[in-house]
Amino acid sequence: MKLLTKENIEDAQKYIYRHMPPTPQYVWPQICENAGTTVWIKHENHTPTGAFKVRGGITFMDWLKRTHPQTKGIITATRGNHGQSQARAATAAGLTAKIVVPSGNSHEKNTAMRSFGAEIIEHGEDFSAAAGHAKTLAAQEDLFPVPAFHSEIIRGVSTYALELFTAAPDLDAVYVPIGCGSGICGLIAARDALNLKTKIIGVVSTEAQAAKISFESGRPTETQSAKTFADGMAVRIPVKEALDIYAQGAEKIIAVTDDEIAAAVRLLYQTTHNVAEGAGAAALAALMKERETMKGKKVAAILSGGNIDADLFTTILKGQTPPA
């Protein structure tokens, strides 16, 4: 992907802000006390879909309408947040949207995607299987296949990072969850566009370590499974285009357990009364794991998204960890 300039990202901001306002970033005293350092929480759970991916949907759909005006509909695969983003943007642009999800996907995320106008198709046991089926259907039904990773998606997503770095330009480090990679790549793009020295630290689940293994080995590596309740990070096969960026731009990738993620969900709710899904709390979980290393530094954790099913959230608030 071509390196973005500050002007590229600011142009995306101007367009995105026609459709949604910027999201806040706060320093919560109790989070700082628990982490032993100054912590900014970037609240991408406050977007219209509860995750940063909505930004990429807006810019991608604008690009699609301009460059492929004959397109009648789109299809994509998701565990939920990307699908909400694309369904919302496609419907607003007058296009149909079909979203492929794996069997047993979050009921509440499926319902949210339908509310944005999408037709939901269940296929396969995980995201990778769903993505393969979406590609097949795209060819069969003449639908535009929206990838999980695209330069226009990253340009839109990078606007959340520009907001954060504008509010806190002297951050030592930012922790961000990795699924297909748009979130971490957006951070890297904005940091580099602003010529900052902030270290970008990716976070994965111990049960879905494809990004971490690939980062450390220097080549894309598939895992046999990705069974974590943090479905936004449940990816078996890293996206090569994203890996190429975070392999060069990230400081490291940390793996956190589902128990650690659940503890971070509880901490966020108890101290800020914000609801985080598993992937949304993973960044804070990683910071808590590294709190001795980060003591005295200024750091940020990305909270994206906030779309956790009620039964899972109830289980976590009872002090338990949901099954994968």
- Write the CATH number for 60: 3.40.50.1100
Do 86 and 161 fall into the same domain? Answer: no
- In this structure, are 186 and 115 located in the same domain? no
Query: Where a domain ends, among 87, 113, 145?
Result: 145
Q: Are 103 and 129 in contact (CB under 8 A)?
A: no
- Asked whether residue 45 falls in the same domain as residue 58, the answer is no
SS3 of residue 46 by DSSP: helix
Domain that residue 166 falls in? 6-52+151-317
Residues 168 and 242 in one domain: yes
Which residue, 145, 160, 191, sits at the end of a domain?
A: 145
Examine the domain organization and report whether 259 and 161 are in the same domain: yes
pTM of the predicted structure, to 2 decimals = 0.95
Specify whether 120 is located in the same domain as 192.
no
Which among 27, 17, 133 is positioned nearest to 76, based on CA atoms?
A: 133
What are the start-end ranges of the E strands in the chain? Answer: 25-27, 38-43, 73-77, 96-101, 119-122, 144-145, 173-177, 199-205, 252-256, 298-303
Same domain, 248 and 109: no
**What is the rounded CA–CA span in Å between residue 166 and residue 178?**
23
In the structure, what pLDDT confidence band is assigned to residue 230 with cuts at 50, 70 and 90?
very high
**Do 60 and 176 share a domain, yes or no?**
no
Say yes or no: 259 and 130 in one domain.
Answer: no
Has residue 161 got a pLDDT over 90?
yes
Round to whole Å and give the CA distance between 253 and 239. Answer: 15
Structure confidence by residue, pLDDT tens digits, 55-114? 999 999 999 999 999 999 999 999 989 999 999 999 999 999 999 999 999 999 999 999
Measure the CA–CA gap between 61 and 54, rounded to whole angstroms: 11
Residue 2 has pLDDT above 70, yes or no: no
Q: Which strands make up the sheet holding 73-77, listed edge to edge?
A: 119-122, 96-101, 73-77, 144-145
- Does residue 41 lie in a domain region? yes
Residue 323 lies in a domain: no
Tally of structural domains, the chain? 2
322: in domain: no
Clarify whether residues 171 and 224 are in a common domain.
Answer: yes
